[in-house]
Amino acid sequence: MSRGMGSTALKRLMTEYRELTLHAPEGIVAGPVSETNFFEWEALIEGPQDTPYEGGIFPATLSFPKDYPLSPPVMKFTCDMFHPNIYQDGTVCISILHAPGDDPNMYESSSERWSPVQSVEKILLSVLSMLAEPNDESGANIDACKVWRANRKEFDDIVRSTVRRTLGV
């Protein structure tokens, strides 16, 4: 990796952080874990209203590659999450976080995937939207997909129970 690439990424992340600090979207707080490492961020996402996630505060991490914004970060929830588009280990699976270019599975169009015009704010807003409206067509958590499709009340009950555990209630 050239030195220039890491410094370009750092400048971009500093700019995005400043922007998020000044104009944080409702229900989202995010920033670097420390002032010495802008490539690891923590985020708190508030569960969207009128969803089973409502009332929850969900911690997550964003790990940025040294060639950001050419490549997307990896986002991972650090609490229990029961959701069709979140793997068991907390990793978020949505189009905006998939590498640029064509989807080898022919599921997503390249316009839905990562591109350098995306931003941390767009990622977090997409995740907020994903919590409210799961995509069960491309599931990361097969159990959550099955329950989401077959029994919405059971899905909501499991999520609400997870929210209570996350809050320590």
Cα–Cα distance, 93 to 72 (Å, whole number): 12
Kindly give, in sequence order, each residue whose CB lies less than 8 Å from that of residue 91, ignoring residues fewer than 6 positions away.
74, 75, 76, 140
Cα–Cα distance, 74 to 133 (Å, whole number): 20
The DSSP output letter for 96 is G
- Set 62, 75, 93, 120: catalytic member: 93
Look up 79 and say whether it is catalytic: no
- Report CA-CA distances (Å) from 14 to 20, 25, 39, 116, 152: 10, 17, 10, 15, 41
Query: Cβ distance 134 to 148 under 8 Å?
Result: yes
Residue 53: Cβ within 10 Å count: 25
Both tokens of residue 37?
A: 């490492």
Q: Is 41 helix (H, G, I), strand (E, B) or coil?
A: strand
Q: Which residues are catalytic?
A: 93
